[in-house]
Amino acid sequence: MDAPRWLDERENRAWRGYRRMRRLLDLELARDLMQDAGLSEPDYDVLSDLSETPDQRLRLSELADRMLWSRSRLSHHLARMQQRGLVTREEHPSDGRGSIVVLTPAGRAAIGAAAPGHVAAVRRHLIDLLTPEEIDALGALTQRVVDRLSGRPTAAEG
Amino acid sequence: MDAPRWLDERENRAWRGYRRMRRLLDLELARDLMQDAGLSEPDYDVLSDLSETPDQRLRLSELADRMLWSRSRLSHHLARMQQRGLVTREEHPSDGRGSIVVLTPAGRAAIGAAAPGHVAAVRRHLIDLLTPEEIDALGALTQRVVDRLSGRPTAAEG
DNA sequence: GCGAGCTTGGTGACATGTCAACAAGTCGGT
DNA sequence: ACCGACTTGTTGACATGTCACCAAGCTCGC
């Protein structure tokens, strides 16, 4: 094994800052969301993704892929959300294995009530603290990392 | 409540990219760490923080504060790590309530074995994909957000 | 020096996430 | 039509994280 190339001072600042920001943002956003709307972040994400689809319904596997969740995790979580009346499941019309996740009126109401406050919190704690250049840099940089990790190389690789 | 100011296209790109990057990076780094060193990310963080202190020992509350973990979480996690022989607890010499978390030789060996591969993974999946300007921007931006969320305003607030 | 109120760390109950295994369904070659 | 390989969603066991609460110890005013 080669001698490790440790992070230099600037790299370290970026890496530690990223991790600390992650943690603090999570705590804050989750707290706000729970207090204001009674939703956890995972709840919000499920409802948000569902509400963005044309018919407020998605096949379980499709939803899991979009969210980067395992099917098992999503299945468990949907059971809990179903218990609370936020979503229901329907049979797939042509594929007997398939399960279609559907937003209920209560689910639609919940995400509708939660979204403004959540977006405001995201602005307050992150977006509105950044310059336009930083927002663009963050967008570009995250997209590059995401593309690599998704196995979609931007250019030829070594 | 005022009409919500939704995120515009650039802000959305940054926000969604950030969240997607977070998730993919987590999955990848956790997978690498578990395969190469048999450690979870929380394990690594505990060992890493401990190994950076002069005597490889910290009071539980001090460690929890540094990690932004609750004491309860840390106490539970230490119990599991203690079971595996990575850390031990000692009594605080002057404060009868205190518990001192100490890195064992096995813990020191584990973090020593894990660190090079982990840093390499962080480079491969994040740091080395960024330009120097992006690294500085990320460092600056995360620090600003962290300072705000830590209740340390950089300038006068409204 | 003592008692109210705080801090510290631990615990149990519960919520959430992971993993391996499984039943049922689909698909494709023959 | 059928069989083997794959896909889909669920489940149970277990690992991890959260929350409320508690016992023990500290601190400070009196």
> Does residue A155 carry a pLDDT above 60?
no
Chain B residues lying within 8 Å of A37, measured CB to CB: none
Gap from A132 CA to C20 C1', Å? 47
Task: Give mean pLDDT, residues B132-147.
Answer: 98
> Which residues are CB-neighbours of B88 under 8 A, at least 6 positions away?
B82, B101, B102, B104
Task: Give mean pLDDT, residues B38-64.
Answer: 97
Adjacent-strand bridge partners of A99: A91
**pLDDT for res A1:** 58
Please, which pLDDT band fits residue A157 given cuts at 50, 70 and 90? very low
**pLDDT for res B4:** 81
List all nucleotides in chain D with at least one atom under 7 A from a protein Cβ: 7-13, 15-21, 24-27
Please, which pLDDT band fits residue A151 given cuts at 50, 70 and 90? confident
> By CA distance, what is A49's nearest residue in B?
B16
**pLDDT for res B158:** 38
Query: Percent of chain B at pLDDT above 70?
Result: 94
Task: Give mean pLDDT, residues B45-55.
Answer: 96
A89 CB contact with strand D at below 7 Å: yes
Q: State the pTM of this model.
A: 0.93
> By CA distance, what is B5's nearest residue in A?
A120
Q: Do B142 and A20 touch (CB under 8 A)?
A: yes
CA pair distance A111, B7, nearest whole angstrom: 16
Q: Give the H or E element holding residue A137.
A: helix A132-149
**pLDDT for res B1:** 58
CA pair distance B18, B23, nearest whole angstrom: 9
Please, which pLDDT band fits residue A156 given cuts at 50, 70 and 90? very low
CA pair distance B45, B63, nearest whole angstrom: 10
Pick among A16, A128, A142 to test the B interface (most B CBs inside 10 A) = A142
Please, which pLDDT band fits residue A4 given cuts at 50, 70 and 90? confident
CB atoms within 10 A of CB B109: 12
Name the residue among A43, A28, A56 with its Cα closest to residue A110: A43
Please, which pLDDT band fits residue A153 given cuts at 50, 70 and 90? low
What is chain A's mean pLDDT, rounded?
94
> Would you say A7 and A16 are in contact if contact means Cβ atoms under 8 Å apart?
no
Q: Measure in Å the smallest separation between the Cα of A44 and chain B Cα atoms.
A: 13
> Does residue A108 carry a pLDDT above 90?
yes
Gap from A157 CA to C15 C1', Å? 43
Q: Measure in Å the smallest separation between the Cα of B57 and chain A Cα atoms.
A: 21
Q: Do A11 and B134 touch (CB under 8 A)?
A: no
> Does residue B156 carry a pLDDT above 50?
no
**pLDDT for res B153:** 52
Q: Give the H or E element holding residue B90.
A: strand B87-91
Please, which pLDDT band fits residue A56 given cuts at 50, 70 and 90? very high
Q: Measure in Å the smallest separation between the Cα of A52 and chain B Cα atoms.
A: 14
**Chain segment B69-103, per-residue pLDDT in tens:** 999 999 999 999 999 999 999 999 999 999 999 99
